[in-house]
Chains A and B, each alone.
Chain A
Amino acid sequence: MTSILIIMFSVILTNNFVLSQFLGICPFLGVSKKLDSAVGMGVAVTFVMVLATAATWPIEVYILDRYDMGYLQTVVFILVIASLVQLVEMTLKKYMPPLYKSLGVFLPLITTNCAVLGVTIMNITDGYNYIESLFCSVGAGIGFLLAMVLFAGLREKLENCKGIPDCFQGVPITLITASVLSMAFMGFSGVVEGIFG
C-alpha cells in the first residue's frame, strides 16, 4: 500500500510528467489556453493512460517477454495505443454522447501524446507490477491534469499582461511562465520523503 502511495505522490508532485520529465509538452503548451479545454484534455489523457497501461502491460509480460520479442515493444505499444484511442472514440460516440461531446474532441490528439507512450514504457522499464503500473498511470494522468489546470490559470492572467517585449510576445513568454511553474514544482522535492521517510 505504501509503495503505491509513494509511486502516486512522486509521479504527481516530485516527478511530474510535464514539469520535470518533459513528457506531453505539446498538449501542455497547445491546449492550455482555456481552463475548460485544459481540464477536458487532462481527463482524456488520464483515461487513455490507464487503459493503455491495462492493455500493454500484459502484452509485454505475457507475450513479448515470454517469446523473447522485446524488440517489438515500440511498434506494438504505439499500435495498441492508436487502436485503443480509436475504439474509445467510437464507443463514446455511440453509447455516451454527452461524454463524447466534452472529451471526444481531445481523443485524436492523444495518439501522438508522448506522455501516454512514455508511461506505458516506463512502467515496464521500472519493473512495476500490474497494480503498481495502473496506479502509476493514474498518478501520471492526475499530475498531467494538475499541471494543465495550473498552467491554464496562469495563461489566462498572462493574456492581460502589458509591456512584454515585442520578441517575447506569444510563445517565449508562455515558455518562461512554464519555467517558473516548474521551478515551483521543484519545491515539492523532499515533501514526499518527508511524509513517508
Chain B
Amino acid sequence: MKNSVFRENVFPVIVLVCICLITTLALAGTYNVANPKIVENQRKEADEARMLVLPSGDSFTQYEGKLSEGVIDCYIADNKSGMAVTAEYKGFGGNVEVMVGIDAGGNVTGVTVTNHSETPGLGTKAMTEKYLSQYGGLNQVTGGHIKDDPDIDAITGATITSNAVYCSVEEALEQFDECGGVK
C-alpha cells in the first residue's frame, strides 16, 4: 500500500523536479557560453548604429553623468567629435526609441528609430530616411508638440508617431545641454 502511494504520487513529482533541475542547469550552462557573444553582438550592433547617426565617430564610451528625462543612454565618441543619445517618447503602439547624433557644436547630425511597435506602413512612414533627414543640422527644436513647430513637418495620419520622434529629438538635445557639450 505504502509503496503504491509512493509510485502514484511521490515518484512523478520527483521525476518532474529532476527534469526541471537538469533543464535549468543545461540552460545556465548554455547561457554562460552564449552570453559573452550576445553582449558583444549587441555592443557591435550598437556602435554601428551610433556611427549611422554620427558618421565622424569611431568608438563610443557611455556617459556616466545625469541623464535628462526620457533619455535612455548617452554615448560620447572617443574622438570627441560628438555624441549619440538614445531617447524615447510615447508613440502609438508603445514607446518609440530614437537615436540622435549630435556633433560637438550641438547640431543634429542624424536621427534613426531604433525600436518601436508602430503600425507598419503608416507609423513607419515617420521613420523613413527622407523624413528623418529634416532634423539634420538643427541645434534646437522649439518644444512641446510637433504641430507647433513650423520647421518640422508631421506625417499626415501618423501624428503620434511623428511627434514621438520629435519629442525624442528634443529630449536628446536637452541631454546635450545637460552634459555641457562634448567633454
A and B touching (Cβ–Cβ under 8 A): yes
Chain A interface residues (CB < 8 Å from chain B): 3, 6-7, 10, 14-15, 71-72, 75, 126-128, 189-190, 192-194, 196-197
Q: Give Cα A197–Cα B126 distance, bound, in whole angstroms.
A: 13
Instruction: Tell me whether B117 and A126 are in contact (CB under 8 A).
Output: yes
Instruction: Tell me whether A193 and B27 are in contact (CB under 8 A).
Output: no
Chain B residues with Cβ below 8 Å from A193 are 92, 119, 122-123, 157-161
Partner of A6, one of B27, B31, B92: B92
Instruction: Tell me whether B93 and A10 are in contact (CB under 8 A).
Output: yes
Instruction: Tell me whether A190 and B122 are in contact (CB under 8 A).
Output: yes
Chain A residues with Cβ below 8 Å from B123 are 193
Q: Give Cα A126–Cα B30 distance, bound, in whole angstroms.
A: 25
Instruction: Tell me whether B157 and A194 are in contact (CB under 8 A).
Output: yes
Chain B residues with Cβ below 8 Å from A3 are 90
Instruction: Tell me whether B119 and A189 are in contact (CB under 8 A).
Output: yes
**Nearest CB in chain B to that of A79: its residue:** B20
**How far apart are B72's CB and chain A's nearest CB, in angstroms?**
11
Range, interface on chain B: 20 to 34
Q: B12 at interface (Cβ–Cβ under 8 A)?
A: no
Q: Apart from A71-B27, A197-B159, list 16 A-B contacts with CB within 8 A.
A: A6-B93, A6-B160, A10-B119, A15-B119, A71-B31, A75-B24, A75-B27, A126-B117, A189-B121, A193-B119, A193-B158, A193-B159, A193-B161, A196-B92, A197-B157, A197-B158
**How far apart are B5's CB and chain A's nearest CB, in angstroms?**
21
Q: Give Cα A127–Cα B95 distance, bound, in whole angstroms.
A: 8
Q: Give Cα A14–Cα B119 distance, bound, in whole angstroms.
A: 8
Q: B94 at interface (Cβ–Cβ under 8 A)?
A: yes
The 7 closest A-B pairs by CB, nearest first: A197-B159, A71-B31, A126-B94, A189-B119, A190-B157, A197-B160, A189-B122
**Nearest CB in chain B to that of A122: its residue:** B117
Chain A residues with Cβ below 8 Å from B121 are 189
